[in-house]
Structure 1
Amino acid sequence: MIALRTFELFEAAASLLYPPVCTLCSGKTRAGEYLCEQCEAKAMRIVAPFCQQCSEPFEGAIATAFTCANCAHRAIYFDAAVAAYRGRGIVRQIIHEFKYGHQVHLRHLVARWLCAAFDDERLRVRQFDMIVPVPLHPTRQRERGFNQASLLAELLAARVSIPCKPMLKRVRYTTTQTALDRAERMENLHNAFRLRRNSDVRGLHVLLVDDVLTTGSTLSECARVLKRAGAISVYAATAARA
């Protein structure tokens, strides 16, 4: 965390010395922005129709709310998971650079995409008591240097004035999820999370935060732990839907 604060000071100083340029094309952009208007326009928003449970978008003329077959035929413990953007193209590229390229400053852009999830009435009409980031295992967090979900959750919490607390911990180191299918992800994550000592979520409405929703297995397992500990409802928000 100290290293991150040092980076923030360096980031602020650099912004005074160098004019802002687009992260992707190096074209001119406005102060405080990371993409030019042309690149920003390539970020694909999720629009209806989409699954009300996991936000998976569908092609075709579906006029009524629906739940996709993947959600209907398995146990899902979150009440709904909402993402505003498709995890493709520049959105995928920016999130990848943020997580794996140590481009920590991009958290501000990714957090803006995350905040856009509150445009959706599934979140907009809710009153949440707490924001909880999806935790990384300590080994992976040491390797990466930060937990991307925590950074995004803190920025979101400041924006929407909801307390952010790390109520969960990851107690089992799991293999990377990227190459696993849905069933393998669920098995890989079983009993991987636990409520932190002295954490109390009884009677609370909780919002889980992560960077990307792929199959929903991670969010569902976290929601299962929170509900088993007494949370009334658990919704989820992510910056993108893969």
Structure 2
Amino acid sequence: MRSLTSWMKQARSLIAPSQPECLFCGRRGRPSPEWPGICVHCQSGIPWIRVPRCQICGRHVGCPDCSRSHGPLPIRCNRSAVAYTSDMREILGQYKYRGNERLAPLLGLMLDRAYELLQQEQSNQQLNGAQQGVFFNKPFPVFQSKLRVRVGSNLWQADLLVPVPVSAVRLSERGFNQAERLADVVSLRRGVPQLPLLVRTHHTAKQSFKSRSERLADMKYAFAGNTDSAVLQSLNEHLHSRASHQLEQRPLRIIIVDDIYTTGSTIRACAGALQQLCRSLDCTAEIYSLTWARS
């Protein structure tokens, strides 16, 4: 009887379709109906940032970094998809350092969730500002005089996605730019063009073991606006397209895309370089950032 039962179990296992291997944990389990490539167990453990505690950097816990900044910030805000827990650190390590590029579409979909959060917040602020006769609840002085929000406008939408560039050394090591791959997914889903408006001016050592002050110093002059003629032509074409659709009333909305936000030094350096590039083209920019994780 036992042998018959054992034989029947084996037969069922051969007939039944095998469950897919989870991209996160590597085990076979019931697949998530919402997030392709992972099991329901891993889906339930994703540490989503649904309500950012810091409205500037998007951190999910108390934030000392933004309170230290006394001057105007180069970005309006950052939003991140997940908290950078030990599990998320392992996932990013698989993708970024161990070359598991199969994770890129899934991580891009997760980043798109952060875009959706940013879109909802900005749409609400835009609507509230129009109803109250002001631009935003907490306007940033550096942009306040340039904003022109139209009553009855459509859902808030970014104009351009700009991935954080990697150095030639990093590109050679990894074979791809992880931020660019993530931005590809959001660009396709949201219909927002991606442009390489930034370049690395020099290679920097890995930031993970550096202090906040070391990161800030390291990144201060690490980026510059991309002056390649083909890139500038694409940007000018986009600006002309905006003008034809009467969108020149407001600043160009640019989102910087990266994999992780730690101290914000990389994002701020990128935003400063973008502002300088836009000023040289007589264009006013409103800059945001999206990252997959927030530490």
TM-score range with shorter-chain normalisation? 0.7 to 0.9
- What CA RMSD, in Å, does the superposition of the two structures yield over aligned residues? 2.2
Q: Could you tell me which of 150, 167, 176 is aligned with 2:206? A: 176
Q: Could you tell me which of 67, 70, 74 is aligned with 1:72? A: 67
CA distance 1:193–1:37, change in 2 (3 Å): same
Encode CA deviations 1:132-185: one digit per residue, 9 max, x unaligned. Answer: 100001111111111000111111100111001111111111111101122111
How far does residue 20 in structure 1 lie from its aligned partner after superposition?
Answer: 2.4
For 1:192, the aligned partner's letter is A
Encode CA deviations 1:12-52: one digit per residue, 9 max, x unaligned. Answer: xxxxxx96211314123449822100111111112435101
For the pair 1:239 / 2:292, whether they are aligned, the reply is yes
Q: Could you tell me which of 69, 78, 81 is aligned with 1:81? A: 78
For 1:42, the aligned partner's letter is G
SS at match of 1:206: strand
Runs (4+) of structure 1 exceeding 4 A deviation are 200-203
Residue 87 of structure 2 corresponds to which residue in structure 1? 90
Gaps of 5+ in 1: 1-17, 60-67
How far does residue 123 in structure 1 lie from its aligned partner after superposition?
Answer: 5.3
Please tell me whether the aligned partners of residues 21 and 27 of structure 1 are also in contact (alpha carbons under 8 angstroms). yes
Residue 247 of structure 2 corresponds to which residue in structure 1? none
For 1:232, the aligned partner's letter is A
Tell which structure's C-alpha radius of gyration is larger: 2
SS at match of 1:97: helix
Structure 2 Cα separation of the partners of residues 122 and 28 of structure 1: 36
Count of residue correspondences: 217
Please tell me whether the aligned partners of residues 82 and 122 of structure 1 are also in contact (alpha carbons under 8 angstroms). no
The TM-score, its normalising length taken from structure 1, stands at 0.82
CA distance 1:38–1:235, change in 2 (3 Å): same
SS at match of 1:33: coil
Q: Between the two proteins, what is the percent identity of the paired residues?
A: 29
Structure 1 Cα separation of the partners of residues 88 and 267 of structure 2: 20
How far does residue 129 in structure 1 lie from its aligned partner after superposition?
Answer: 1.1
Higher fraction of helix: 2
Residue 102 of structure 1 corresponds to which residue in structure 2? 99
Gaps of 5+ in 2: 1-17, 124-154, 240-250, 279-283
For 1:234, the aligned partner's letter is I
How far does residue 72 in structure 1 lie from its aligned partner after superposition?
Answer: 2.9
Residue 257 of structure 2 corresponds to which residue in structure 1? 209
Residue 223 of structure 1 corresponds to which residue in structure 2? 271
Structure 1 Cα separation of the partners of residues 175 and 47 of structure 2: 29
Please tell me whether the aligned partners of residues 19 and 28 of structure 2 are also in contact (alpha carbons under 8 angstroms). no
Residue 57 of structure 2 corresponds to which residue in structure 1? 54
